[in-house]
Every structure is written in structure tokens, then in C-alpha cells.
Chains A and B, each alone.
Chain A
Amino acid sequence: MRDRVNRLMALIIQACALSSVLVLMGIFLMLLINGAMLFKEVSVFDFLTGMTWNPGAFDGPAYGALSLIWSTILVTIGAMLMAIPLGIAMAAFMSEVAPRFWRNLLKPLIELLAGIPSVVLGFIGIELIGPLLQKYLGLSTGFNALNGSILLCLMALPTIISLSEEAIRAVPFSFKEASYGLGAGKWETLIKVTLPACTSGLIASSMLGLGRALGETMTVLMVTGNALQFPHGFYDSVRTLTSTIAIELGEVASGTTHYFALFAVASLLFCLCLIINIAAEAIAAKFRYRQT
């Protein structure tokens, strides 16, 4: 009896693992297969380099995703320009400067930020940041790439801060001791010894933050204006890959070229995120390897 239960449970557990893996593989296959259907009608080159995205046009719809890709890159770069320095600086503060009490206070705060739903941040972008940008930058509207970047920065920060802090804290104390022993000050030790010792950890955390920002949908959908155009700067309205899917999927009939085009967009996004995550993991693994 006990033996039978043991074997039965082993089977059930294996079935769980198998179905998880199947489902997760299914996501990958579903995306690629549906996405590939687009390329029966549109060439990959046109998809990646075409300037116009106008799938709804009656006379000759266009499936050029370049402006969507550029929008995504623009917003993400803006977010990273803010989030990486802020995040690493705050991580350094938390691990090297702040007394224990403050660290214990900051950590849950960062976790809370990580937990705020993207739709709530998007709402803040509409109600708070948008009007501020409009007023102080003298723009006609606050719905632009900059607003999106600020929100994505907030979304990427928890990832960057917590992983960077872990990386900085993992630097052996003996390194710092050696530096102090040579007469270096606290700041020189931080800049010349501690941070360089965990560079790959910092890069990995920044990349994971980047991946988070890249795939974010609701915030950018809500605050970037979503104009179909090729953006020239942070004050322009942009429409990212993710927003395009969110906006258009609701209104397209399944099996049409437009439908497949959205899957192609999703596949592109998926591959980008996957590459970034795998690279980050590889860099982090190298970091851990060097530590031991």
C-alpha cells in the first residue's frame, strides 16, 4: 500500500513536470508557427525594414514593423538611461552605505514597487506624470515616449536594484580589506574595487531589467500616445510592439494576414526577450563561477 502510493505519486509528479514543460514549449511553437504564416505573404525583409504599419488599409495593407521596433527601442533606451545609474547607485547605497535599519526599510519598499501592477503605474502616468511633462516641457500633450520611459524605468528598477545589491554584497570582504589596507578611501574602494569585482553581476541585473521593460505592455499602451509614426525623439508619440498587439488583437479576425502579422510581432518580441534573458543568465553564471 505505502509502496503503491509512493509509485503513484511519483507518476503524478512526473506528469505535472511534463505538462508544465509541454505547455511552455507550446507557447513557443504556437508563436512561431502562427508568426511564420505571415511570411507566406510578406517577406521577412519587408517586415523588419518596412516603415509603414497599416494592416487595416483596404488598398494594399502594409506590414512594416520598423517604426514599432524603433519605438520599442527608443522607449526602452530612455528607461535604461535612467534606471541603470539610479538602480546601481541605490544598490550600492543599500549594500555599502546604508545602516542595517535603512536597508531593512528600503528592501520591502522596493518589493512593493515591484508589486505595483503595470496598469496602476500607467494610470499614474496619465494622471500625474503626463500633465507635469505637458506643463513644464511646454508640450501639447504629455503622452509621449518620455512618459513611457519614466514608467518603464520604475518597472525595471526593482529588478536592477535587488539583483545588483545581491551582486555587490557577494563581493568578498577580503577585496575591500585589501583596498583599505593600501590606504584607499571608502569611495575609491567602491569605485575601483567593489564595483569592478561584480561587473558581470551588474550587467546581468541591468539586462534582466531591460528584458522587463521591453516586454511591458499596459504602461506604454496607456501613456505613449500610440501614434503610428516613426518617432524622432522622446517628445514624440510612439507605438511599441507590445501596444500594437494589445490594441489590434481585439479587433482582428482569426486566420487573416493581419492576425498572423500580430503573431509575427509577438514572435519578434519573444525572441528579443529570450535572447536578453539567456545572455543575462550566461553572464550571471560566469559571475557566480568566478566567485567560487
Chain B
Amino acid sequence: MMNRNWYSNLGFGSLYLSTFLVVGFIAVILWDLIYKGAPSWNWTFFSEGPQEGMTKGGIFPVIVGTFYVTLISTIASLPLGIGTAIYLQEYAPDNLLTRLIRSSIRNLAGVPSVIFGLFGLVLFVQHMQMGTSLLASGLTLGLLTLPTVVASTEEALRNVPQSYREGALALGATQWEVIWHQVLPAASSGIWTGAMLAISRAAGETAPILFTGVTFYQRFLPQSLFHEFMAMPYHIFILSTQHHAIEIVTPIAYGTALLLLVQILILQMIAFYLRYKQTSTRR
């Protein structure tokens, strides 16, 4: 009996320990980013461009670049992804082909991001002759997030009770009216949750923009869709691995990493709020 108790305590102890390890690790990472990143946050950091070989100044054009490229990717992936999900959930017959499409989209969510970068290089930069540009990068990131958008939208549509559809149809609504008036509004918080996750993913990715348009330094903000741009993830990468004076630029890299983290935290909190709102109003 004694033995059995000891064994059980050891077992549960290991569960506690594992959780403690994981949580501790996350805490250390967050603390490190905040502790070393926060001191470099000041007005200049946000409002000015890099100066003196990036050792001084701020990251204003870097923030703007990330904003632009994320915006483009969202404009590209949201309508296409939501449309695809609507097709799969509301129009497509439940047959082998539909299941095949659905499973291939799901599998694409697991394709390494660097491969999307390759595809963006071949399709947008080379074949469609966009060159290395904001547009090419934005579209590449759009493709990367497409499976996420499709999957989360499908999930949201699936959760809309069939009775809403039937109710509207029975009142003489056409299929599109059912979708537009009843299904999409009821699914909207789920769709937006997915969109927030897609945006935060697009903003943080590096590999897909590496060959399609990001540049480590540019004196001006991108003036058109066909210009190259700076971006926060790439800025961190360059400052921490490729810069000639890594010691000096480390605080700037920390500041940038913290900003990226805060941005993702905000997007996730919006997503969390939307989900919370949905579960509390439904029923």
C-alpha cells in the first residue's frame, strides 16, 4: 500500500514538474524580452528610421513595412479563404472530391513556411514579374495564411446551427441571402478570430519574405507596391546574426522583438475576446 502511494505521488509529481518546466520556460522568455526590450522603447525608437549603420535611431520604416505587408496579405487571403470555406461548407456536395480538397487544404497548413517562400519567388517574383517587392511578399504571406483562414472559417460556419439556414430558407430567402443575412453574421466572431490568428502569423513570418521582397535597409518608406520593404522579423534576424556590430545593436533587436511580441499579444487578446463574446451570446 505504501509502495503504491509513493508511485502515484511520483507520477503526479512528474506532471507538475513538466508543467512547471514549460510554464517556467515561457516565463523566462517573456521576462527576458520585456526586461531587455523595454528600455529601448522611447519616442525615437518608434518615430525614426535606423541611423549610423542601424546602431542608432529607431525602427519606424520597419514597423511601416510590416504593417503594409501584413495588410496586403490579409487583403489577399481573407476574401479568398472565406470564399473557399463558404464553398466547402455551404455549396460543395459531401463527396470524395470535397473531402480531398478539404484534406489537402488542411495539409497545406503543415507545409513549411520556407516552401511558401520558394513558391512566392517562382510565381510572383519571377513568373508574374513583380520583382522582389511588397506585393510579391504580401501575396506570398497571403498564401501561407490561406489554409488557416479556410480552416477557421469552415469551423465557424460549421458551428452555425442548421436551423438558422432552414428558418431563412423557409421564409423564401435564396441560398446567398441565407449565407449573407444569417450564416455569416452568426459565424462572424469565429471568422474574425481566425483572421486575427492569420494576421499575427503573417506579421511574424520571416522565411516567406526572405527571397520575395524584404530588405535589411532602405532609406525611404516603400512608395509603391513594387518597392522592397523592411520588416520587423527580418530586422531581428539581421541585427542578431548578420550585423557587423551585434553587441551594439542587440538592444534595438530586443526592442523590436518585444514590439512583435506585444503586437501578437494584442491580436490574440482580440481573438480571445471575440471567442468569449461568442460563447456568452450563443444560447
Contacts of A6 in B (CB 8 A): 174-177
CA–CA, A276 and B107, complex, Å: 10
In the assembled complex, which residues on chain B have CB atoms less than 8 Å from the CB atom of A250? 210-211
- The docked-state distance in angstroms from the alpha carbon of A278 to that of B118 is 22
In the complex, B135 has a CB within 8 A of chain A: no
Note all chain B residues with C-beta closer than 8 A to A115.
197, 200-201, 204, 264-265, 267-268
Q: Contact: A117 with B272, CB < 8 Å?
A: no
Question: Given A6-B175, A17-B88, does the pair A90, B19 have CB atoms closer than 8 Å?
Answer: yes
Given known A115-B200, A270-B111, contact A90–B22 (CB-CB < 8 A):
yes
Q: How far is the CB of B18 from chain A (nearest CB, A)?
A: 4
Question: Chain A's nearest CB lies how many Å from the CB of B32?
Answer: 6
Q: A86-B18, A123-B257, A157-B22 are in contact. Are A21 and B4 (CB under 8 A)?
A: no
Taking the closest CB of chain B, its distance from the CB of A273, in whole angstroms, is: 6
Is the pair A126, B119 in contact by a Cβ cutoff of 8 Å? Answer: no
Contact with B along A8-35 (1 / 0, CB 8 A): 0110111111011101101100110010
Type the 1/0 row for A75-110, where 1 means its CB is closer than 8 Å to any CB of B: 000000000011001101110011000000010110
Selected contact of A123 from candidates B15, B21, B240, CB within 8 Å: B240
Tell me how far the C-beta of B31 lies from the nearest C-beta in chain A, rounded to whole angstroms: 10
Give the contact-size bracket for chain A. 35 or more
* Chain B residues with CB under 8 A of A124: 29, 32-33
The answer to whether the Cβ of A227 comes within 8 Å of any Cβ in the partner chain is no
Does B161 make an interface contact (CB < 8 A)?
no
The answer for the CA separation of A228 and B179 in the assembled complex, in Å, is 55
Q: Known contacts being A13-B83, A245-B118, A269-B115, is A126 close to B241, with CB within 8 Å?
A: yes
Are A30 and B119 neighbours in the complex by a CB distance under 8 Å? yes
* Interface flag for A111 (CB, 8 Å): yes
Q: Which residues of B contact A215 (CB under 8 A)?
A: 110-115
Task: Write the A120-144 contact mask toward B (1 if CB under 8 angstroms, else 0).
Answer: 1111101110000000000000000
Interface residue? A118 (CB, 8 A): yes
Contact of B206 among A118, A128, A161, A278 (CB under 8 A): A118
Closest B residue by C-beta to A24: B108
Does A214 interact with chain B (Cβ within 8 Å)?
yes
With A20-B146, A127-B32 in contact, do A222 and B241 touch (Cβ < 8 Å)? yes
- Report the minimal beta-carbon distance from B256 to chain A, rounded to whole angstroms: 9
Name the residue on A nearest B16 (C-beta): A93
**Which among B80, B107, B114, B254 is the interface contact of A20 at CB below 8 angstroms?**
B80
Q: Which of B115, B179, B210, B234 contacts A270 (CB 8 A)?
A: B115
Which residues of the other chain, B, contact A10 by a CB distance below 8 angstroms?
91, 175-176
Which B residues are CB-close (under 8 A) to A24?
104-105, 108, 146-147
Q: How far is the CA of A117 from the CA of B70 in the complex (A)?
A: 14
**A67 interface residue, CB < 8 Å from B?**
no
A92–B15 CB distance below 8 A:
yes
Interface size band for B = 35 or more
CA distance A262 to B254 in the complex (A): 32
Q: Which residue of A lies closest to B205 (CB)?
A: A117
Task: Report Cα–Cα, A85/B21, bound state, in Å.
Answer: 12
Asked if residues B19 and A93 are in contact (CB atoms below 8 Å), the reply is yes
Q: B192: CB under 8 A from chain A?
A: no
How far, in angstroms, from A128 to B110 measured CA to CA in the complex? 28
A246 to B118, CA, bound (A): 9
- Tell whether A89 pairs with B83 under 8 Å between CB atoms, given A154-B25, A215-B111, A246-B114: no
Report the Cα distance A27→B139, complex, angstroms. 13
Residues A112 and B265 in contact in the complex (CB < 8 Å), given A17-B84, A89-B14, A120-B260: yes
Which of B39-47, B48-56, B120-128, B221-229 interfaces with chain A? B120-128
Q: How far is the CB of A19 from chain B (nearest CB, A)?
A: 7
- Asked whether any CB of chain A lies closer than 8 Å to the CB of B150, the reply is yes
B7 at the interface (CB under 8 A from A): yes
12 intermolecular pairs with C-beta atoms under 8 Å apart? A21-B101, A21-B105, A26-B119, A86-B21, A97-B12, A115-B204, A116-B261, A120-B260, A249-B211, A250-B211, A277-B106, A277-B107
Which B residues form the contact surface with A (CB < 8 A)? 4, 7-8, 11-12, 14-19, 21-23, 25-26, 28-29, 32-33, 36, 79-84, 86-88, 90-92, 101, 103-108, 110-119, 121-123, 126, 143, 146-147, 150, 174-177, 179-180, 197, 200-201, 203-207, 210-211, 233-234, 236-237, 240-241, 250, 253-254, 257, 260-261, 264-265, 267-268, 272
Q: Mark A residues whose CB is within 8 Å of B.
A: 2-3, 5-6, 9-10, 12-17, 19-21, 23-24, 26-27, 30-31, 34, 85-86, 89-90, 92-94, 97-98, 106, 108-109, 111-113, 115-124, 126-128, 154, 157, 161, 185-188, 190-191, 208, 211-212, 214-218, 222, 242, 245-246, 249-250, 254, 262-263, 266, 269-270, 273-274, 276-278, 281
Given A115-B201, A118-B204, A118-B205, 9 extra CB contacts under 8 A: A27-B119, A109-B26, A115-B268, A187-B8, A216-B112, A217-B113, A218-B207, A270-B111, A278-B103
